[in-house]
Chain A
């Protein structure tokens, strides 16, 4: 009887419970005490389960759900492993059916499942299986990525890393984005804490909650995507037609953060974000970005605080770790005009990757203390949520005295 582990001496508690519950729930009016069809008991007059339900149970029984790792508004993450081979660890992300979303399955759950089912690449998180449990929640069986994410890595003071490590991580990130764009998928939420580190040290792009496929001409797309720190200027100006360049900008900011070990363009509001961008890259004008004045939220900078792009000295001083080619690549990825910005393929064809120092092999990359607790934090976060959004931040804004003119 290969199918059900129920006969195994140590019946897994919750599997057994769900089976009997399922039987009771489904056969509402049917009072036949027929236990689920898999039991070799008296031939039940009718198998209460549809074929698809049996398939679903088939998948569900392949995984044993372990302890709860973490919980967020969007999902609860459990550790787990294969029944057949307890050494292969997995993370089970149970998407919550949030009450106020009255339209059934949440949009970002649909998006995440849809795109993760299609993409399989060593630098993109692997979706092993999907199943639903009795309470109609979606469970995603994802790869086990215990070593935290890139943001906690550069925040973590006792982890020290050099230019070669940065090049290795940046390379993996660039490959993941390139693969998405070759499959005509926009990730639209690339940031430090969506890049999780696997046990073997490779970086994996996760959280496809905001992803969508490339749009056909004349179809509008949402401009309220990507976490603010990593949002390119064209989205801040509210464009509804954009392409892969939005992901390339976010990637540039992430690599810059790796070199700086602090946020590259932090801001409180979208206006301030535009100022931070202007400080570094100069104010967007018709010269450096033809047609920008026609975008909806564009506000031409007043004559006196028209900012000029930072000189090379600024870059050399702040981004010494990247070397000259690295600086050139970052500036190529963060051009104001999306058309002159690098595409994902051009990023990978840049000489930076070939220049010395050679990227460190992934086994030798420095590691986070990490552990399962950390993984839960990363997996359960919903797209667009910056970690520091605790109540204290809001408090600071309320008590802002500087606004009161003396």
Chain B
């Protein structure tokens, strides 16, 4: 078994379970939406019937005891419930991902905790719809789960206390649903450390100390020379810079790419469609195209369409990175526009989201409204259902241990047998 970087990635659950082609993603979301819409309509219809019945027999009582209550039961509108479309669902989920990032910054979470939380949220809403489970409830719980899996310890109370009017129980209630929706895969591979690795290697190249791939048959020296002469703009004239200038250029590009990774990468579907290596290269491409292309080609020989010994062709890699970069650029935060234009864009989006939220208010799945109650019921049911004697047995065991402990304190522990007979 040869463990190459690609093999290590292929053994990850992110590759095996959470990578989709674009149309697979689309079809999965639409079917989730369809099934959720079905359920909402059915649930609402059932609830209306229930309300009509209760209203009906409360009228009958009133008629029987002759008093006619003033309040006429509200006209139960039979209007068909209008459900969210897939696009609207995406918008609202993205909105809450944005809120998650804001929450992460507010609570000073490290970037990998925030990023993992956002990915959990996006993965959750692949298999569930915002109509069934409200993002407002799921988002904090996903963030709390992320603090656990990324080893950033925080108790539930402490987390809940720092959120406006949420209790620990509300944070923990959806956790079970999220772990189930994540199909118990908690490991998310991020591009941040990859960006650092790339930056380190490029800095070494700039100083002429890069360790070169045997297959790429280049020497550190001519890599450095080529790097110094890189044009600023794609197909611009070659510039001549000294090492300091190139390092500054590297620094800027890395900073820009890092900002992209912290915003656009989290809010678009790149994690599902591309690999972490391609994501950070795409972000770097948006920051400094010439540098990225130079870096990628430094991994290949200088022929027309070279490929690595294991057959990965350079043009295919560059095409994929460009596609990923296009997706990243499509996110509003990346729009090349003046400050206030971006502000206007964001305001418009915020209004859209508000409209969707109002609409969502009416098409929420009545069963799943209160998750805390649902959780308790589930546990109680589990408890009552055939597990009763088990919990009784456990209670008895606990009692026995308790009075054993009391006996200890009073009489002091019984002498270990061995000493007694030893003498």
Asked if B383 is an interface residue, CB under 8 A from chain A, the answer is: yes
CB pair B413 A102 closer than 8 Å: no
| Nearest CB of chain A from residue B15's CB, rounded to whole Å | 10
Among B64-72, B168-176, B241-249, B321-329, the stretch that binds chain A is: B168-176
Cβ B385 vs Cβ A17 within 8 A: yes
Tell me if A356 counts as interface (CB < 8 A to partner B): no
Q: Which of B32, B39, B179, B187 contacts A132 (CB 8 A)?
A: B179
For residue A280, CB closer than 8 A to chain B, the reply is no
Q: Does A317 interact with chain B (Cβ within 8 Å)?
A: no
B residues 137-177 with Cβ under 8 Å of A?
144-145, 148-149, 151, 153, 155-157, 168, 172, 175-177
- By a CB distance below 8 angstroms, the chain A residues around B187 are 114-115, 117-118
Q: Is the CB of A25 within 8 A of B381?
A: yes
With A105-B179, A138-B184 in contact, is A47–B35 under 8 Å at CB?
yes
> Is B198 part of the binding interface, using a Cβ–Cβ cutoff of 8 Å?
no
Please report the total number of B residues contacting A with Cβ < 8 Å: 60
Given A47-B35, A395-B415, do A135 and B156 touch, yes or no (CB 8 Å)? no
> Is A27 engaged at the interface, CB distance under 8 Å to the other chain?
yes
* Contact present for B387 and A45 (CB under 8 Å): no
Query: Quick one: given A25-B377, A56-B180, A104-B156, are A395 and B3 in contact (CB under 8 Å)?
Result: no
Among listed A28-36, A147-155, A335-343, interface-contacting one = A28-36
Chain A residues with CB below 8 A from B416, complex form:
392, 395-396
Does B90 sit at the interface, judged by CB under 8 A? no
**Most chain B beta-carbon contacts within 10 A, residue among A52, A120, A133:** A52
Contact with B along A48-63 (1 / 0, CB 8 A): 1011110110000000
Q: Which of B41, B185, B381 contacts A117 (CB 8 A)?
A: B185
- Whether A212 pairs with B378 at a CB distance below 8 angstroms is no
Closest to A45 in B: B42
Give the distance in Å from the alpha carbon of A21 to the alpha carbon of B385 in the complex. 7
Any chain B CB within 8 A of the CB of A103? yes
Q: Is A182 an interface residue (CB 8 A)?
A: yes
30 A-B pairs with C-beta separation under 8 A: A17-B386, A21-B382, A25-B385, A28-B377, A29-B366, A30-B367, A45-B45, A45-B46, A46-B41, A51-B32, A52-B177, A52-B180, A53-B180, A104-B144, A104-B156, A104-B176, A110-B149, A110-B186, A117-B13, A117-B186, A118-B187, A134-B378, A135-B382, A135-B383, A136-B378, A138-B179, A183-B8, A212-B151, A391-B413, A395-B415
Q: Which B residues lie at the A interface, using CB under 8 A?
A: 3, 8, 11-13, 32, 35, 38-39, 41-43, 45-47, 50, 127-128, 132, 144-145, 148-149, 151, 153, 155-157, 168, 172, 175-177, 179-181, 183-187, 193, 366-367, 374-375, 377-379, 381-383, 385-387, 412-416
Q: Assuming A30-B367, A102-B155, what are 8 further A-B pairs, CB within 8 angstroms? A: A24-B381, A47-B39, A104-B172, A113-B184, A114-B149, A132-B179, A138-B184, A395-B413
